[in-house]
């Protein structure tokens, strides 16, 4: 019984103590390394974004070429009815796709 009352008294006396602030600890080396890592991440993200933009522009160019070829092939199907129009459209088939 004495041990229980001693533990209760110790717990109550510790509960009444106030906490005091401690000194702030800063690590300048860790702070500098964090700044370096953040700048490397920014450079990597910007290069990834520019690569994605270049890929998207290339995709748009390929899409436009495909759209142009599809439109021309539809026109050539309608040319079978009117041969005069076919002479104007026949020149595109001789060109290479890279020159479009």
Q: How far apart are CA 68 and CA 64, in angstroms?
A: 6
Per cent of the chain over pLDDT 70 is 70
| pLDDT tops 60 at residue 95 | no
Mean pLDDT, range 24-34, rounded to an integer:
92
Spatial CA neighbour of 78 closest among 87, 86, 67: 86
Reported pTM: 0.44
Q: Which residue has the higher pLDDT, 77 or 32?
A: 32
Q: Residue 68 has what pLDDT?
A: 87
pLDDT in tens, 72-90: 877 776 655 555 555 555 5
Q: How confident is the model at residue 100 (pLDDT cuts 50, 70, 90)?
A: very low
Spatial CA neighbour of 74 closest among 85, 61, 84, 63: 85
Handedness of CA 51, 54, 60, 66 (dihedral sign): negative
pLDDT in tens, 35-59: 999 999 999 999 999 999 999 999 9
Token pair for 30: 């860790």
């Amino acid at each position: 019984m004495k041990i229980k009352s001693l533990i209760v008294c110790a717990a109550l006396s510790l509960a009444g103590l106030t906490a005091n602030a401690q000194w702030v600890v800063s690590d300048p080396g860790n702070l500098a390394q964090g700044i370096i890592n953040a700048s490397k991440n920014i450079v990597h993200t910007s290069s990834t974004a520019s690569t994605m933009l270049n890929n998207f522009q290339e995709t748009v160019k390929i899409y436009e070429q495909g759209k142009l070829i599809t439109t021309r092939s539809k026109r050539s199907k309608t040319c079978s009815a009117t041969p005069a129009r076919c002479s104007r459209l026949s020149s595109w088939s001789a060109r290479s796709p890279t020159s479009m």
